[in-house]
Structures are given as C-alpha cells and as structure tokens.
Amino acid sequence: MHKVRVRVVEDALDANNTIARANREDFDRSDVTVVNLMSAPGAGKTALLERVLADTGDVRVAVLEGDVEGSLDAQRLASLHVPVVQINTSGGFGGECHLDANMVRSALPSLPLGDIDLLIVENVGNLVCPAEFRVGEDVRAMVCSVAEGEDKPLKYPLMFRACELAVVNKIDLLPHVDVELEQLLYNLQVVHPGMEHLLTSARTGDGVEALRDWLVSRVKDRVAA
C-alpha cells in the first residue's frame, strides 16, 4: 500500500507544480510579486500584516487569505482597505492543511492583479505541508513565535529550508518564556545555513519596519531584474 500512496502523492505534487507554473505566468504578465507566508497556528502572521499593510508607500498590496474555515483574518485585514480574497480549504476535501496551486488559481479571477504590485498569500497555519506545495510564488517567508520554543527548526526542517526569510515574532515575550533566542537562531542556521531572519513583535511594533522594507524590496528587486 505504501508504494501506491507515495505514487499518488508524487502525482499530486507534479500536478500542483504544473498549476503553480500557470499561476506564475499570470503573475508575471501583471508584474505582480508574490510572497507565500507560512507559520504554525497563532504565530502572528495576520497581526504582523495588520502592522505592515498600514503603510506600504507606493507599493500596492493585496492579500490572499488561506484558512480551513471562516474569514476572521480576512475581516481583520479588509479593515485596512487592502483587497483581500478568502480561500477556505474545508470544502470538498475534508479540511486541507495547506493551500495548493489550484486553490490559488481558483482565486485569481477575484484578485485585482492589474492594480497591485505585491500579493501576499497567507497560508494555513501549519509547519509541515504548506512547504511542500508551491502556489506560483516568487519567495517564501515564515513566521515563528519565540513562544513555540527554540527547537522548531530542528523538528520542522523542511519548512525552515523552504523559506528565504524567518520572521522571529513575539520577541516581547522573551523575558517571560524559557527560550534562548541565540539557540533558536543557531538552530535556524543549522537547518538552513545563511537563512535570513528578522526579529519582530507585532504587539510592540519592533521590527515591523524591517519586515515592510523586506517585502517592498521583493517588488523593487523584481522590477530591477
């Protein structure tokens, strides 16, 4: 049985990559830079985006929200007057734990691709499967909360290897948790040598400007390339 399952999964990933390439072509045609943003549940992706999207200067942003159910995060972001499209993964497949290229493709007609420069795809909260499914993005970034402990890179290495940037969030909690930031950053480098990181707190605003700069630079780099 195991071999059959492996083949089914490989087929599914092949099919996913084909659709991801089609998404990528659509994004390229509209000159849209796409960031796939991932994390464990409750690491603070939406809270960071609320801060970051309050002012992105002349870079026009939209968000694609992935959730198993509901639209709580989309509602939070829509109040910033940013175009937000919600994808729920609960339909049809018993609750998907990740976004795939086809789900993103189905949302494309609802996105104002011609009027934006940057699309942020906020993935389902999960440190495993989202890293395996490309959606047509330019870059991948992940948020980890210091409250999750310093061992997460070692336990979920694929996610940390798949991303260009680790946003280490909730640093305001460092005095209140038994977590060594240095050890967390060391573990990051063990699983992904040279990986870039930023230290942030969505609560205090620390590091939010650096994250905004990083996101905006993805757009400028792309235009310059």
| Per-residue interface string for the shown chain with a second copy, residues 149-188, x marking contact by CB under 8 A | x-xx-xxxxx-----------x-xx--xxx----------
Interface mask toward a second copy for 63-102; x: CB under 8 A: ----xxxx-x-------------------xxxxxx-----
Residue 198, both tokens: 């930023």
Does residue 211 come out as left (phi exceeding 0), alpha (psi in the -120 to 50 range) or beta? alpha
Residue 27 CB, nearest distance to a second copy (Å)? 22
In whole angstroms, the minimum distance from the beta carbon of 144 to a second copy comes to 8
Choose the binding region for a second copy from 25-33, 61-69, 79-87, 108-116 (rule: CB under 8 A): 61-69
> In 3-state terms, what secondary structure has residue 225?
coil
The token pair that represents 5 in the structure block:
């399952």
Q: Closest separation between CB of residue 75 and a second copy, Å?
A: 11
Nearer to a second copy, 75 or 217 (CB): 75
Query: Can you say whether the dihedral through the CA atoms of 158, 13, 95, 26 is positive or negative?
Result: positive
3-state SS assignment for residue 80: coil
The C-alpha atoms of residue 102 and residue 23 are separated, in whole angstroms, by 9
Under the criterion CB under 8 A, does residue 21 sit at the interface with a second copy?
no
Burial 140-164 (b: 16+ CB within 10 A, else e): bbbbbbbebbbebbeebbebbebbb
Q: Is 190 a binder of a second copy (CB under 8 A)?
A: no
Helix/strand/coil for 33:
strand
- Interface with a second copy, residue 8, by CB under 8 A: yes
Cα 151 to chain centroid distance, Å, stands at 20
Positions that interact with a second copy (CB under 8 A): 1-2, 5-6, 8-9, 12-13, 15, 40-42, 67-70, 72, 92-97, 124-129, 132, 145, 147-149, 151-152, 154-158, 170, 172-173, 176-178, 203
